[in-house]
Chain A
Amino acid sequence: TACTTQTQTQIDRDPKQPGAMAGEKGLVLLDFWVSPFGQRVRIALAEKGLPYEYAEEDLMAGKSDRLLRANPVHKKIPVLLHDGRPVNESLIILQYLEDAFPDAPALLPSDPYARAQARFWADYVDKKVYDCGSRLWKLKGEPQAQARAEMLDILKTLDGALGDKPFFGGDKFGFVDAAFAPFTAWFHSYERYGEFSLPEVAPKIAAWAKRCGERESVAKSLYSPDKVYDFIGLLKKKYGIE
């Protein structure tokens, strides 16, 4: 398969006993190699230095019993199992890691207003980026042109929110950075389908993307933009899109 795990902690998965090799913190991540939502969690775990077992769900083949048991409501990855108890939804998982491992490096600031702002922008990324990006490669003609206009607006808004800070978190890589960094591997595809140049549209975001890519947590969790582009091609075939 096209999947190789690139996690910091390479532990062989024992399919008969999920969680048996979960490492000293009892963490198992159910994930899909190219999922930006799963990658957020991988990045957060790496930034926090938390060991875990990576368990690939082959979503192209369907959903396993293990996944359906762990996330019966949404049936989606990522799912973080902590001592067998599932936590679902990537941003909820990230906040769970903050709460459950208070001694590990924090991604959220301690000030309540700064936390609210971080949650706001992570929520903005969640609401806007993947959905709009999907419409870019799924649609044609006028609806695609609309998606393109929206994507440019989204990127410009995020560009403004980042401003002159090195990271959304300020001097430190933080919550919003972890939430948005996986999409840096999708920028190339958005540029190709949307016919625009990111450095022209959102130069600060382009520079930020490079900066993120230089971090070990991000570099080890993401796949190359070409691989993502190929994956989109696979999805289009699957959905019968020309």
Chain B
Amino acid sequence: RPHNLTINLYLTSSTATRAKMSAPAAVRVIGAFDSPFSHRAEVALRLKGVPYELILEELHNKSELLLTSNPVHKKVPVLLHGDRAVCESLIIVEYVDETFDGPRLLPSDPYDRAMARFWARFIDDKCSKPFWLAMWTDGEAQKGFMKEIKENFALLEAQLEGKRFFGGDTIGLVDIAACGFAHWLTVCEEVSGVTLVTAKEFPRLCRWAKEYASDEKVRACLPDRAQMLAHFTANKEMFMAMAKSMLPK
């Protein structure tokens, strides 16, 4: 990685399953090297066995393609499917689940689907910010964010009881949503010097993180750890300044 794959498209064909697309169309992901959101889009496609071309953005110098594909938010990832542009990582995962054959990313039972969506949103709405701030702030503020994120991790820990993945036996929406805690978390801990998750406090979460990150299809689209470590180390001051600016005045 980074890699740029141009692959001839094929439909997953199987007489037992109905093809959801009437004609093959090129699939591309506009992403960024160490963005967990970008990873979500890639991993969904890989779990479905859908080949795609990865277009890597330099986020300080956004391409015309990105700006026209996601004019509202101007963010990665964007899934380009033929002439369609799908934005927002969790929405992309649901689109991939509904469009392509392959293992289900969301459960089939309506209540279980609602629970999956709930925890995926919980991760984005309640975990991302305190996690980031716990890593890169200090003093009293940092203590507060640590408390907050640990409380929220405890809820996720409870969700893993008796399960290999949040999705059950196979990787699903919530696992994909939680990817940051599987691969990015220890890099952040190493660079910041803050220990957030220990096997003693969060045994299931730690076990899950290993399971998720070692899955063959997941591994294929996780950013190289050494490269991430170097990148985060180089940007540490910037992250700390950014975190400081996010604090309430």
- A116–B94 CB distance below 8 A: yes
Given contacts A119-B94, A120-B88, A123-B88, contact A112 B99 (CB under 8 A): yes
- A95–B113 CB distance below 8 A: yes
Chain B residue nearest to A72 in the complex (CB): B155
B19 in contact (CB, < 8 A): no
Distance in angstroms between the alpha carbons of A113 and B27 in the assembled complex: 14
Q: Main secondary structure on chain A at its contact with chain B?
A: helix
Minimum CB–CB distance for B24 against chain A, Å: 15
A89 in contact (CB, < 8 A): yes
Which one of B87, B118, B155 has the highest number of Cβ atoms from chain A below 10 Å of its Cβ?
B118
A124 in contact (CB, < 8 A): yes
1/0 contact string of A94-128 vs chain B (CB within 8 Å): 01100110000000000011011001100110000
Chain A residue nearest to B155 in the complex (CB): A73
- B91–A96 CB distance below 8 A: no
Given contacts A88-B118, A113-B84, A116-B94, contact A96 B72 (CB under 8 A): no
Q: Main secondary structure on chain B at its contact with chain A?
A: helix
A149 in contact (CB, < 8 A): no
- B111–A113 CB distance below 8 A: no
Distance in angstroms between the alpha carbons of A96 and B99 in the assembled complex: 19
A21 — which chain B residues lie within 8 A by C-beta?
none
Chain A residue nearest to B112 in the complex (CB): A99
Distance in angstroms between the alpha carbons of A88 and B114 in the assembled complex: 8
Partner of A95 from the list B87, B92, B98, B114 (CB cut-off 8 Å) is: B114
- B86–A116 CB distance below 8 A: yes
A157 in contact (CB, < 8 A): yes
Distance in angstroms between the alpha carbons of A95 and B163 in the assembled complex: 25
Distance in angstroms between the alpha carbons of A206 and B50 in the assembled complex: 43
B117 in contact (CB, < 8 A): yes
Chain A residue nearest to B109 in the complex (CB): A99
Minimum CB–CB distance for A201 against chain B, Å: 17
Distance in angstroms between the alpha carbons of A113 and B81 in the assembled complex: 10
- B88–A115 CB distance below 8 A: no
- B110–A99 CB distance below 8 A: yes
B20 — which chain A residues lie within 8 A by C-beta?
112
- B91–A157 CB distance below 8 A: no
- A82–B111 CB distance below 8 A: yes
A92 in contact (CB, < 8 A): yes
Partner of B95 from the list A82, A100, A112, A123 (CB cut-off 8 Å) is: A112
A85 in contact (CB, < 8 A): yes
Chain A residue nearest to B73 in the complex (CB): A124
Given contacts A113-B84, A113-B86, contact A89 B121 (CB under 8 A): yes
Which residues of B102-129 have CB atoms within 8 Å of chain A's CB atoms? Answer: 110-111, 113-114, 117-118, 121-122, 126
Distance in angstroms between the alpha carbons of A40 and B94 in the assembled complex: 22
Distance in angstroms between the alpha carbons of A96 and B112 in the assembled complex: 9
Distance in angstroms between the alpha carbons of A112 and B72 in the assembled complex: 20
A157 — which chain B residues lie within 8 A by C-beta?
72
Sample 6 A-B pairs with CB under 8 A, ordered by A number. A85-B111, A93-B114, A96-B114, A99-B114, A113-B95, A119-B94
Measured CB to CB, the residues of A under 8 A from B are: 73, 82, 85, 87-89, 92-93, 95-96, 99-100, 112-113, 115-116, 119-120, 123-124, 157
* 5 cross-chain pairs, A with B, having the tightest CB-CB distances, nearest first: A99-B110, A112-B98, A100-B110, A96-B114, A116-B95
